Amino acid sequence: MVFLVVGEALIDFFPAYCSKEDGYVPHPGGSPHNVAIGLGRLGVPVGYLGKLSCDRFGRMLKQSLKTSGVDLRYLAEEDAPTALSFIHATSGEEPEFSFYCEGTADALLTPAFIPDPLPAGIKVIHVGSLAMMREPIGTTLTGLLLRESGKRLISFDPNVRPNQIKDKSHYLKRFAEWLRQSNLVKVSRVDLDYLYPGKDEASAAQEWLKRGPQLVVVTHGATGANAYTATQHATVDGARVEVVDTVGAGDAFTAGLLAWLYENARLDPKSLAALSQSNLHSALEQAARIAALTCTRRGANPPYRSEVV
């Protein structure tokens, strides 16, 4: 195991139609879950650390991780419900999410379930999303980053969900703390607009690079992505595909980016900081291609290595 992904796994419910009735169909989801299965399907040694429910949905999530090649030695079960997300999609627009996450198994992760020390073979820890906004898992992950920063590469994707943030001021203070502990930060342009309304993207990236990370990546959906180090900048256009939906595309992008770093032996801070413009462009191209393939199918269903041309 080289990568350890920590955070929530939940069930996404997609709109469906049965006879004359509207309904919903469940699919495994949750940003950290999606990144973990994305890495596993690309052949990257990855494990998942988190809590899953003992219910049917928890079993569905466990099976999703297992069949994608994710190491489950740090998976714990909890007698609590599974977090749910209902997706409301309108053609041509970003999907909206309604979350039902009170008292769910994934949020009940405490420091007692985090091995100390972690095996030396784990080179990268990836965290982010709803897990950072809920308790006790948010405090647990904040402590994990503080403990492991400087020992391993920290990858962070805030995947901001404004309707889940009860106190923006508190969130921004914690965000600054997470930023200091991270080596790679990937955000969407929508995330950036929430964090720094009206701020120029390049300026925000350079500010972050002075505060901790060696690499900042900003995604722009169908139009592509930008990558920034202290000395280099690269951009890539989005791949053209027939879109079924965009759920999980950002997580697939993250998995593709991390896989490129693994395949090219760039899993330490110095290597990240030394990435050339050509390196950045190549990494972005792979990540964008994998994200685009995910958009051609329903739900967070990233491709396997054999599907990536």
Average pLDDT of the chain, as a whole number: 94
User: 82-124, pLDDT tens digit by residue?
Assistant: 999 998 865 555 678 899 998 999 999 999 999 999 999 999 9
What is the predicted pLDDT for the residue at 97? 85
What is the predicted pLDDT for the residue at 89? 66
53 versus 97: the higher-pLDDT residue is: 53
Question: Which of 171, 127, 165 is closest to 149 using CA atoms?
Answer: 127
What is the predicted pLDDT for the residue at 222? 86
**What does the alpha-carbon distance between residue 153 and residue 271 come to, in Å, rounded to a whole number?**
11
What is the predicted pLDDT for the residue at 269? 96
**Boundaries of every domain in the chain:** 3-307
Reported confidence tier of residue 175, pLDDT bands at 50, 70, 90: very high
Whether 217 and 226 have beta carbons less than 8 Å apart is answered as yes
pTM here is 0.95
The yes-or-no verdict on residue 275 having pLDDT over 80 is: yes
Please give the average per-residue pLDDT across 75-84, as a whole number: 96
The yes-or-no verdict on residue 40 having pLDDT over 90 is: yes
What is the predicted pLDDT for the residue at 243? 84
**What does the alpha-carbon distance between residue 49 and residue 238 come to, in Å, rounded to a whole number?**
31
**Domain 3-307 - what CATH class?**
alpha beta
**What does the alpha-carbon distance between residue 259 and residue 254 come to, in Å, rounded to a whole number?**
8
**What does the alpha-carbon distance between residue 65 and residue 83 come to, in Å, rounded to a whole number?**
16
Whether 73 and 102 have beta carbons less than 8 Å apart is answered as no
Q: What single-letter DSSP state applies at residue 292?
A: H
Dihedral of the CA atoms 199, 203, 207, 209 (nearest 10)?
130
Distances (CA, A) of 95 to 153, 160, 247: 31, 14, 7
